[in-house]
Amino acid sequence: MNESSAHFADATLGAFTEALASRRSVPGGGAAAGSMLAHAAGLAEMVIAFSHGKKKFADFESTLAEAAGRLRGIRETALELADRDAHAFESLSALWPLEADDPRRLEGWPAAVEGAIEAPHRLVMHAAETVDLAARLVGRTSRLLRSDLAIAGRLAAVAAEAGRWNVEMNLDSLRGLDQGAARALAIENEVDTAIDHAVDTANRIDEACRLGGDRPIVD
């Protein structure tokens, strides 16, 4: 974690948290949010791993297999987004000190702003999906792991809320781009809707798991 080119996925947890605590901007909140989402997806995968192949859950095999595959993809993508968020921040922060009419800033600013929005925006949407996947597992996986399932849902919801901060921090810059105002409004609305749903669903997972975790959540 001593070089900005390092991948967070390749760092030990100790090295990552030490770098997070240091007087550097990268890694920061975006990387922490990505790591949190990866933990949430991995924890939900673990719940499936302990339930997969058991006779009691035979009727849910296709659901469990589909969820496991999606969660694996999200877990890997979350760490990639942590990297992208860090690189996007570095690109944007390198342009901030330049005068508004500096050719380097004029050339690089639109792409830098787009990159700074893209990573946290995608993270929020993947986090919201993770909460939905966790909800599908309630009553279809071992109730002995219901605490892990509830934690997975809660971590994913918090990761979504954390990701929203980095979206919001860059919305004004996006509004300043040509035709950026409409896109900023659309992204803001999409993110807010996704997070409201994720938090509500995480609450429902908590409630269902506290009641025993043996009944599926019905929409």
Q: SS3 for the chain, per residue?
A: CCCCCCCHHHCCHHHHHHHHHCCCCCCCHHHHHHHHHHHHHHHHHHHHHHHCCCHHHHHHHHHHHHHHHHHHHHHHHHHHHHHHHHHHHHHHHHHCCCCCCCHHHHHHHHHHHHHHHHHHHHHHHHHHHHHHHHHHHCCCCCHHHHHHHHHHHHHHHHHHHHHHHHHHHHHHHHHCCCCHHHHHHHHHHHHHHHHHHHHHHHHHHHHHHHCCCCCCCCC
* Among 151, 142, 158, residue whose Cα is nearest residue 64: 142
pLDDT of residue 9: 78
**Measured between alpha carbons, how far is residue 48 from residues 2, 14, 60, 139, 156 in Å?**
36, 27, 11, 12, 16
pLDDT of residue 2: 44
Cα gap 206→171, rounded to integer Å: 32
How many other β-carbons are positioned within 10 Å of the β-carbon of residue 57? 18
Series of mean pLDDT values for 10-residue runs along the chain (219 residues): 62 88 88 96 97 90 96 96 91 89 91 93 98 97 96 98 95 92 96 98 98 89
Answer yes or no: CATH 3.40.30.10 is held by domain 25-210: no
pLDDT of residue 6: 67
Which residue, chain included where needed, has tokens 């050719």? 103
Helix axes 103-137, 61-95, angle to 10 degrees: 160
For residue 132, give both structure tokens.
Answer: 């939905």
pLDDT of residue 16: 87
pTM of the model as a whole: 0.92
